[in-house]
Amino acid sequence: MTYRSWHAGALTLAFLLSIAAVQVKADELVASTGDGEAAEAAPGLSLRNNVMVDDDVVRLGDLFMESLSVGDTPIAQAPAPGQTIALDARFLRQLARAYRLDWQPDSKFEKVLVGRISQRIDATQVVASINDAIHERAGNDARLDLVLDGGDVEFTLPTNITPTIAVRNLQYDPTSQRFAAMLIVPADGPTVLQRQVSGSIFETIDIPVFNHAMGAGTTVQEGDLQWISIRTDRLIGNVITDSRQLVGMTTKRPLRTGQMLRGSDLVMTPAIRKNTLVTLALQSGQMNLTVTGRALEDAAIGQPIRVVNVNSKKELTGIVRDSSTIVIPVAGQLTLN
């Protein structure tokens, strides 16, 4: 039986018993006073609308703002950690009569909401514990994305339980990328909660993407990029994983924020633009020859480019060395003049 189902049954039984017990408590109290004098002499008690308890039971003193001589008396089972129950006007009226308190409900709708202080082991902590156990079993440090069957798992605990979790009976199949395990809370000592879980495992990788929309023909700067984690099974072909393949490149088309980027989405940023006047350089041994030329097309550093010698009107093909210089291969030296 789980803590939650046991607690729900205990709560229902406790309410039935507490209603029946209030008169018994009152009889005992009358006997102790000897003459039936009211247990609480102070008039005009003020009921609290909302109460938070940190115990398995709700006590009489929790319900009123004033101090009561019988305030430590348990009057109901507390709700489960993190949960809330309502004590209605009928119950409260019987309670006041039983303990001879100077209080009456203002209406049949009056109630006290009683909550239980709790602490949580959230889904992030659960996944991290399973992740660590799988890494230990697999013997590698690959980054993993765990998807639990049935959604996220969390544990809500009373404050007297250490919020730690242990992973037991781990079964992991790297071929099918499936796992199953038993989660135990707390990690050490008597088990308070346990749950069987299963799910799928996916390796992940960080990739660079744009942190804002980029128009066509825009040169990529470092500040345009952000990193996101993505499952490797979702990577498209030719996706760029190194930011050095992006910085300085030019977008060929409009690209969205966070979009996976492929090599075909970008081109090298031209160092020389069409119709720009450039220096045509030939180096052969000790000979260095330069003339003025004009670019016939755009080209990036290291790319071939067609140029024309402005003096001889001869068309040549060279390699872009920098933003103003085209190196002409030795085979083209006879056409420089």
Mean pLDDT of 249-273: 93
Nearest CA among 270, 283, 299, 272 for reference residue 336: 283
Q: What is the mean pLDDT of the chain?
A: 85
pLDDT more than 70, % of the chain: 85
CATH of 205-268, one of 3.90.1720.10, 3.30.390.50, 3.30.499.10, 3.90.1210.10: 3.90.1210.10
Q: Are 119 and 155 in contact (CB under 8 A)?
A: no
User: For the segment 8-27, what is each residue's pLDDT rounded down to a tens digit?
Assistant: 444 444 444 444 444 444 44
Q: Angle at which helices 3-33 and 89-98 pack, to 10 degrees? A: 30
**What span, in angstroms and rounded, lies between the C-alpha atoms of 106 and 123?**
43
pLDDT band at 316 (very low <50, low <70, confident <90, very high): very high
Report the 3 state secondary structure along 60-94.
HHHCECCCCCCCCCEEEECCCCCCEEEEEHHHHHH
Q: Identity (one letter) of the amino acid at 30?
A: V
Rounded CA separation 327/319 (Å): 5
Say whether the peptide bond before residue 254 is cis (omega within 30 degrees of 0). Answer: no
What's the alpha-carbon Rg for the chain, to the nearest Å? 39
d(CA 134, CA 120): 23
What's the fold here for domain 277-335?
SH3 type barrels. (2.30.30)
Interatomic CA distance for residues 270 and 248, integer angstroms: 10
DSSP helix/strand/coil, 221: coil
Q: Which residues contact 56 (CB under 8 A, 6 or more apart)?
A: 77, 78, 158
Question: Residue range 70-90: average pLDDT?
Answer: 95
Weakest-pLDDT range from 70-79, 92-101, 141-150, 194-203? 141-150
Strands in the chain per DSSP E: 50-53, 57-59, 74-77, 84-88, 111-116, 119-121, 144-148, 155-157, 166-173, 178-185, 193-210, 225-231, 249-251, 266-268, 277-284, 287-295, 304-309, 315-320, 325-327
Model pLDDT for residues 107-121, shown as the tens digit of each residue: 999 999 999 999 999
**Separation between Cα atoms, residue 96 and residue 103, nearest integer Å:** 6
- CATH class as words, domain 3-117: alpha beta
Query: Hey, where are the domains in the chain?
Result: 3-117, 121-204, 205-268, 277-335
Strand partners, 287: 284
Distance between CA atoms of 250 and 300, rounded to whole angstroms? 10
Rounded Cα distance, 180 and 199, in Å: 7
